[in-house]
A and B are shown apart, each in its own frame.
Chain A
């Protein structure tokens, strides 16, 4: 990875007079000074390419941990916002390569990098950045940051779905940043340092940690289980399936906003599970709700995990796969073939004050257009899915994820300079 092309020289680096080219050396010296030269050699493997046609963290083999954060932009100054995006780009590039953020600093200044990822593997860190509708329009519908005419039609305001108990403070936001890694400390380190760079320009609206992946995104991965104890994402779109990605995930050349070509949309929903009542339901009830066998993941119509469900196979009272089961309600065959790239995470945020786990699924899906690939599915789910009895949607967000960048560019440059 090239350092000399680094476009996003941080404000701090400029102030301290250190150019990006000297950053590695400077940081090495700082680290050695700070930790008394006792640091083990940091492994250079376990990195994911930051630059590319698409942003990392979408088709990247799903990591085990996530820290996602929603920011509101507090400045009115377009230039400051762009400057932050440059700073973030530089910092993300450094962290994705397993290096600390920033460069050398004075002994009398706070360290530029917060330090807790020192000595850890990069752990396949990816950081994915996207923009919410509220970045483009203020609450009166007036354009912000000179982004007139740049709002994609697909970046809608998600409607209220039946049963939603959405908390505004956990939802929306002008900018979303998703950090994924196989080490929770690496993911948290990324969000912590990006938030720090943003003070004065953005403020944190919400953040959420996910502790276990609930999707596989490559054929090499095993299908993981969600907190209901069922395999989740058996039918997910995989990184190897270029045709499905082109059809269901990546925005093509024909959209209303050329800057989104190669981008996608991220749907986020914090879905609390009524863990305790679920745990008290019979295996029969659990399998009828999901439509699959708990142990193997096979559909109730038989076969093994990857067998297609046979929704017509009759049982003694209706189909073997109940019509209100999760798989029947959301199967692509019921939605004109629409599929998602799901990349969610199990979460738990302690207990709820009544002695129950505040836990569930932080649902993340990447889709080409939420109007065709999410809203109709969520409407069907909230109206007909037997699983609703055990779920509570407590947050909601939709974000435009711009395409990837090349060295010399900054994240979101296509939007601001396209």
Chain B
């Protein structure tokens, strides 16, 4: 946290040095943030100028309508940064990176119209605080790359699911068991995306305990339980297996279709990466996800890969601005991968129930080590 706040603190010094003798800066708070007072008919900034780098606007809505605050580029069109959904009486911060130039600040009471605008000037950045002039282009490249990855994984998931479903329905257990962890990796790589479809996720990926009394148990884990049947379990009939298989294919096809049309933003990518590690922390490293097959390390690997892809797509946004975070993430991704590689067996991994307590603890610590800096990625890429 201290590390994260450091640039803002530097900025504060810079801003004071540049504008400290003018009245403009009088209402800027001690932490270098620029106070914005928004009401239903006014938008007052404590300062109309700041030094380039990371800017923090603290926007207080003193009106009765829901408000928004924007920093717009010189053309008055391109959004450099925005904060939405500021309820009456609520204060929100906008943290944004802006290079030297002319801008507009705008409040938008009631979330309609062009807003109440005023010119805003960003002066030269303090040494070491230079900002790339075109972060928007870097952000677009990142989300386009990730969207392509999601499309590709969802199509591979569909193809693999068809193979698995056919083997499962036909009672070819050895084939189905071999395919199960491999195909699920496509799901696990894009798990936050899959989970964002609130109707499909429980049908396809619910564990038995996730269900309410009376809800039907379907999807991957239904098949898992049948393939790796626990003691006292009555195996499904061929007709029942066919039904589960058909449901898997049908709903995965729907998911793949919807995934083609998904739109991403940098914060979605970064939050998705963090959520993938959360999944590892709460479901995989505990062995709860694959209660019957114990193929949790396949899921672990896939979650890790999915998070790494999102991070790598976003990494250009960290260069020059968050180098320390970038280096820490690169290092911790590599370290956790090395830890996981120790459990590779052939094309796959050891089963979770073959791990010792000490090994699980070591993996859990590695997950925590990566998760902590990863949780700072969103704030670093949206500004």
B212 adjacent to A280 (CB under 8 Å): no
A303 adjacent to B89 (CB under 8 Å): yes
B209 adjacent to A382 (CB under 8 Å): no
The answer, among B84, B85, B90, B365, for a CB contact under 8 Å with A355, is: B365
Complex Cα distance A73/B335, Å? 53
Chain A residues with CB below 8 A from B364, complex form: 354-356
Q: Mark B267-283, 1 if CB is under 8 A from A, else 0.
A: 00001001000100110
Q: How far is the CB of B111 from chain A (nearest CB, A)?
A: 6
A276 adjacent to B281 (CB under 8 Å): yes
Given contacts A298-B89, A354-B364, 15 further A-B contacts (CB under 8 A): A159-B212, A163-B210, A165-B209, A274-B278, A274-B281, A276-B368, A280-B372, A281-B375, A282-B375, A299-B87, A302-B88, A354-B285, A354-B361, A355-B365, A383-B212
The answer, among B84, B90, B210, for a CB contact under 8 Å with A302, is: B90
A163 adjacent to B378 (CB under 8 Å): no
- Say if the beta carbon of A221 comes within 8 Å of chain B: no
Name the residue on A nearest B360 (C-beta). Answer: A354
A314 adjacent to B66 (CB under 8 Å): yes
Q: Mark B184-214, 1 if CB is under 8 A from A, else 0.
A: 0000000000000000000000000111110
The answer, among A274, A280, A303, A353, for a CB contact under 8 Å with B361, is: A353
Main SS of chain B's interface residues? helix
Chain B residues with CB below 8 A from A314, complex form: 66, 111
B213 adjacent to A160 (CB under 8 Å): yes
Interface size on B, residues (CB 8 A): 35
Interface size on A, residues (CB 8 A): 37
Chain B residues with CB below 8 A from A247, complex form: none
A277 adjacent to B212 (CB under 8 Å): no
- Say if the beta carbon of B327 comes within 8 Å of chain A: no
Using a CB–CB cutoff of 8 Å, the interface residues on chain B facing chain A are 61, 66, 68, 84-85, 87-90, 111, 209-213, 215, 271, 274, 278, 281-282, 285-286, 357, 360-361, 364-365, 368, 371-372, 374-375, 378-379
Complex Cα distance A139/B90, Å? 54
Complex Cα distance A303/B285, Å? 42
Q: Mark A303-329, 1 if CB is under 8 A from B, else 0.
A: 110010000011110001000000000
CB within 8 Å of B: which A19-55 residues: none
Complex Cα distance A82/B110, Å? 66
- Say if the beta carbon of A293 comes within 8 Å of chain B: yes
Complex Cα distance A30/B68, Å? 71
- Say if the beta carbon of A4 comes within 8 Å of chain B: no
- Can you list 16 A-B pairs, Cβ within 8 angstroms, ordered by A? A159-B212, A163-B209, A164-B209, A277-B278, A277-B282, A279-B375, A282-B379, A301-B87, A302-B88, A307-B89, A314-B66, A315-B85, A320-B66, A354-B285, A354-B360, A383-B212
A293 adjacent to B212 (CB under 8 Å): no
Name the residue on B nearest A274 (C-beta). Answer: B282
Name the residue on B nearest A313 (C-beta). Answer: B66
- Say if the beta carbon of A300 comes within 8 Å of chain B: yes
Are A280 and B365 CB-contacts (below 8 A) given A162-B210, A164-B209? Answer: no
Q: How far is the CB of A283 from chain B (nearest CB, A)?
A: 9
Complex Cα distance A320/B357, Å? 45
Complex Cα distance A64/B282, Å? 30
- Say if the beta carbon of A379 comes within 8 Å of chain B: yes
CB within 8 Å of B: which A139-168 residues: 159-165
Name the residue on A nearest B195 (C-beta). Answer: A389
Complex Cα distance A353/B285, Å? 12
Complex Cα distance A353/B358, Å? 10
Chain B residues with CB below 8 A from A240, complex form: none
Chain B residues with CB below 8 A from A382, complex form: 212
Q: How far is the CB of A304 from chain B (nearest CB, A)?
A: 7
The 4 closest A-B pairs by CB, nearest first: A302-B87, A302-B88, A280-B375, A315-B85
Q: How far is the CB of B379 from chain A (nearest CB, A)?
A: 7
Chain B residues with CB below 8 A from A161, complex form: 212
Q: How far is the CB of B267 from chain A (nearest CB, A)?
A: 9
A315 adjacent to B371 (CB under 8 Å): no
Chain B residues with CB below 8 A from A320, complex form: 66, 85, 87
Name the residue on A nearest B211 (C-beta). Answer: A162
Complex Cα distance A320/B372, Å? 29
Chain B residues with CB below 8 A from A303, complex form: 87-89
B85 adjacent to A316 (CB under 8 Å): yes
The answer, among B87, B89, B215, B365, for a CB contact under 8 Å with A162, is: B215
Complex Cα distance A354/B374, Å? 19
- Say if the beta carbon of A241 comes within 8 Å of chain B: no
CB within 8 Å of B: which A77-106 residues: none
Are A160 and B212 CB-contacts (below 8 A) given A282-B378, A314-B66? Answer: yes
Chain A residues with CB below 8 A from B285, complex form: 354
Complex Cα distance A344/B383, Å? 40
A316 adjacent to B212 (CB under 8 Å): no
Chain A residues with CB below 8 A from B111, complex form: 314-316
Q: How far is the CB of B219 from chain A (nearest CB, A)?
A: 15
- Say if the beta carbon of A285 comes within 8 Å of chain B: yes
Name the residue on A nearest B367 (C-beta). Answer: A354
B361 adjacent to A293 (CB under 8 Å): no
Complex Cα distance A276/B285, Å? 14
Q: How far is the CB of A377 from chain B (nearest CB, A)?
A: 14
